[in-house]
Structure 1
C-alpha cells in the first residue's frame, strides 16, 4: 500500500474516504425505509415494522460506540473502517433475504458498523487536520449523513421499479464491498500506533466513560449531543406528520418540504463548520445553534396557522439548524481530546448522541399524544435547544481564561 505523500494530500484522501463511508453507512441504514411498501407486501409485515427496525440499528450503534475505543486500540482506525464497510455489505445481504430473521440480523450488523465508523473516522481525521479548518473538515464529513439519506431515498426505489427489491439490495451491497477493496490501497500513519504495535492504553466502556465524565468539556459535549439529537431525530421523524395533521398540507407537498429540510441540513453542516472556523469557536456555534433551534421550535407552534411559505421557510431554518450541528460537535470532541485518544473520546460521547436518537422520537410521540398537537410538542422540545445552548455557553466562558493565558 502506498503511504500518504504529505499533510494536504493526506487530508484530502482521508476526508474523501471518511465522507464516502459516512454516505454508505447512512444509505445502508435507511435502505429498507425507502421501499417499505414493497417489503411489507412481500413479507407480510405491518408497515410500522420499519420503526422498530431503525430503532434496532441505533440500539446496536449505541452499544458499538461504547466499545469503539477498544476496537480502535486493538485494530487501528483504518482497519475498523474496513470492518464497518464489511458490516454494511453483509447487512444489506441480510435484508435481501426478505425474512424477519434477516431484517433483525442485518439491523444489528449495520448498527455495529454505524456505531464504529464515526469514532474511527474522527481518529483518522484528527492526525491530518489542522486547527484552522477542523470544524469545516468534520462538518464536510458529517454532510455525508443527509446525502446518504437522499441517495437511499432516490436510488433504491428508482431501481426497484425495474427489478425485484431483493436484487436491488444485493446490488447495493456491492458498493461497500467495492469501497472496502479500494480502502486496502490506502495507508494511514495513525494505524502504526495501534495496540498490537506497542504499549496499549486501557480502553473499555467503563474506562472510557470514567475518562469522559472526568473531563468537564467532554462531559458537556456529551450532554449537548444528547439534547440536540433528541430534537434532530424527532424533526426528521415528525416533520411530514406535523405539516399534514396540524397544517393540513397534502402528503406529497409535505414530503417535498421535508426533502428541502434535509438539503438544508446538508448545507447547514458545511456552513456551520465554516462559521466555527472563522470565529474560532465551535462552542459558540453550538450555543448559537441551540438558541436558534429553540426559537425555531417555539415559532413552529405559532407558524403552523400562517401562510404556507412561512412554514416552508421555517422548516428550512429548522433543517439547517437541527440537522446541521453534528460536524461542529465532533470537531470539538477532537479538539478537546488528545490526538491519540480522539476515537476513544468520540465513541464515549456518541453513546449519548445515539441515546438521544432512541429516546427523542419515542418521547415526542408520547408528549404529542397528551397534547394532541405536534407543533405544540415541538414547542416543548425547544427546551432541549435552550439547555444545550446554556451548556455550550458555560463551556465557552470557562475556556476563555485558559485561552488568554496561552
Structure 2
C-alpha cells in the first residue's frame, strides 16, 4: 500500500499537460541559468571589478534571502495576478536583472541580486499552480520532477555556455550576461503572444501580505503532514547544497586535480537531473513519503561512508559521489507535487510558497553549518559523515508520517 501522497486519477490527454510541462521546464532552466550566471563568470567579473571572486558567495546568499521572503508572499501574488502573469513577471525580472548585472555597477548588481531572489521565490508557486491544474493526478510527481530537472540543466547551461561566450568567443563577462537574458526574453515574448490568463482577482490580497503570510505559516505548523513537509524541505535542501558545494574541495583535498574533481561534480549534477525524473516515477508508484524516506536513507548511507573515501579506489569514489548527486537532488519534484496535493482548492501557489520558505532556510544555513562542522573536525569526509544524520532524520520523519497516514486510513 502506498502512502497518501500517491494519487490515482483518470488519465488526462497528453496535449493538456505536455505543453505546460515543457514551457515550465524551460522557464526553470532560464531561472536557474539567470541566478547562477554571475557565479559561472565570477573570475572574469571579479578581475574587472577589482574584487575577490569569493564575493560571489555573498551574492548567492543575498539571492536566497530575497527568495525566502518572496516565497512567503508568493501565494497572494499568484492568487491576485494569476499564475501565468506571475510567470511573465518572473521572466521580466530575470531579463532586467541580467541587464543590471551587465552594467558592472555595484549598486545595480545588488539590486539585480535582490530581483533574482524575488523572481526565483515566485517561480515554483506559480509553476506549481499551472502544472497542478494541467497534469493528471496519477503522474504529478513525475511531472513536477521533470520540471525540476531544469535546475541542474540550467546550472550546466550557465557553467558551460556563459564562460565560452565570455572567453572563447570574446564577448566578455558583461556581453555573456546580456546573452543570458535572451532565453528569458524569448519565453516572455512567447507568453505574451500565446497565454490568455484569467482576469486579475483584485480582492485576493485584501487581507494584507504580512497577515496572510503569518496565517499561512500557522496553518503549516498546525498540520502534522505539512509540518513534516516543511522540515523535510529544510533538511533535504541543506543536504543537496552541501553535496553540491563541497564535492570538489573534498576530492582536491584527497589529491584529485581541480579538473578531474570538477568533472565528477558535473557528472553528479547530470545524474541529479536524471534522478529527479526517476524519483518522480517512483513516487507516483510508491507514494510520496515512502519515496522521500528512501531518498533520505540512501543519501544518509552514502554520506556516512565518505569518512573513509580516501581509502577507496577512484572508481568507487566516483560512483559514491555521482550517486549522491542522483539522490540528494531527487527530492524536489516529489516535494513540490506533495505541496500541491496538500493544498486546498485554489491555494496551490500559497501552500507551495509557504512550504518553500523552509526550503530556502535550508539552502541558506546548510553550507554554513557544514563549514562550521569542518572547522571543528578539519576533515571533509568526516564532516559528510556527521551530516549523514540529516538524511537519516529525513528518512525517519518520512517513515513516521507514512505510518501515521496508514493508521488514519485503518481507522476510517
TM-score category (smaller protein): over 0.9
Structure 1 gap ranges (5+): 1-5
Q: CA deviation at 1:185?
A: 3.2
TM-fit CA distance, 1:395: 1.2
Which whole-Å deviations, capped at 9, do the CAs of 1:240-299 have from their partners, x for residues lacking one? 001111x211111000000000001001000000111122x0110000000111111001
* Structure 1 residues 400 and 291: CA distance shift in structure 2, 3 A: same
The alignment of Structure 1 onto Structure 2 pairs a total of residues equal to 397
Matched, 1:383 2:389: yes
Partner in structure 2 of residue 3 of structure 1: none
Tell me, yes or no, if the aligned pair for 1:268 and 1:321 is still in contact at 8 Å.
yes
Contact 1:123–1:339 (Cα < 8 Å) also in 2: no
- Inter-partner Cα distance in structure 1 for 2:363 and 2:285: 30
Query: Could you tell me whether the CA contact under 8 Å between 2:97 and 2:115 is conserved in 1?
Result: yes
Aligned to 2:242: 234
The yes-or-no answer on 1:256 pairing with 2:263 is yes
Relative to structure 1, is the Cα distance of residues 40 and 200 closer, same or farther in structure 2, using a 3 angstrom cutoff? Answer: closer
Q: Distance in 1 between matches of 2:339 and 2:226?
A: 7
Distance, in Å, in 1 between the alignment partners of 2:227 and 2:135 is: 23
Match of 1:355 in 2: 361
Q: State yes or no: 1:187 paired with 2:187.
A: no
- Choose from 244, 252, 267 the match for 2:274: 267
Once the two structures are TM-superposed, the CA of residue 174 in structure 1 deviates from its matched residue by 2.2
Match among 118, 125, 142 for residue 131 of structure 2: 125
- Which residue, 77, 99, 102 being the options, matches 1:96? 102
Q: Distance in 1 between matches of 2:15 and 2:199?
A: 20
| CA displacement at 1:369 relative to structure 2 | 1.1
What's the RMSD between the two structures over aligned residues?
1.8
The answer for the alignment partner of 2:231 in structure 1 is 223
SS state of the match for residue 340, structure 1?
coil
Q: Is the 8 A contact 1:298 1:379 kept in 2?
A: yes
Secondary structure in 1 matching 2:135: coil
TM-score (norm 1): 0.94
2:87 maps to 1:87 = no
CA separation of 1:390/1:276 partners in 2, compared to 1, >3 Å: closer, same or farther?
same
Q: Is the 8 A contact 1:73 1:200 kept in 2?
A: no
Trace 1:109-258 onto structure 2 (pairs within 5 A): 109-161=115-167, 162=169, 163-187=171-195, 191-192=197-198, 195-196=201-202, 204-245=212-253, 247-258=254-265
Report the alpha carbon displacement of residue 308 of structure 1 after superposing the two structures with TM: 0.7
Q: Give the Å deviation of 1:132.
A: 1.3
Give the CA deviation at 1:405.
6.8
Paired with 1:91 and 1:82, the residues of 2 have a C-alpha distance of 14
Deviates more, 1:376-385 or 1:8-17: 8-17
Task: Look up the match of 2:30.
Answer: 24
Q: Aligned partners of 1:339, 1:288: CA distance in 2, in Å?
A: 29
CA shift in 2, pair 1:24/1:199, >3 Å: closer
Task: Establish whether residue 332 from structure 1 lines up as the match of residue 338 from structure 2.
Answer: yes
Query: What's the TM-score, normalizing by structure 2?
Result: 0.93
Unaligned runs of 5+ in 2: 1-11
How far residue 7 of structure 1 moved from its aligned partner, in angstroms, is 5.0
Q: CA deviation at 1:118?
A: 0.4
Aligned to 1:304: 310
Partner SS state of residue 65, structure 2:
helix
- Alignment correspondent of 2:41: 35
Hey, what's the Cα distance between the residues in 2 that align with 1:7 and 1:198? Answer: 31
Other-structure match for 1:63: 69
1:335 CA displacement = 1.6
Quote the residue 2:53 is aligned against. 47
Offset, 1:99: 2.0
For the structure 1 residues 197 and 66, does the alpha-carbon distance in structure 2 shift closer, same or farther, using more than 3 Å as the test?
closer
* Mapped contact 1:244–1:251 kept (Cα < 8 A): yes
Q: 1:199 to 1:27 in 2, by over 3 A?
A: closer
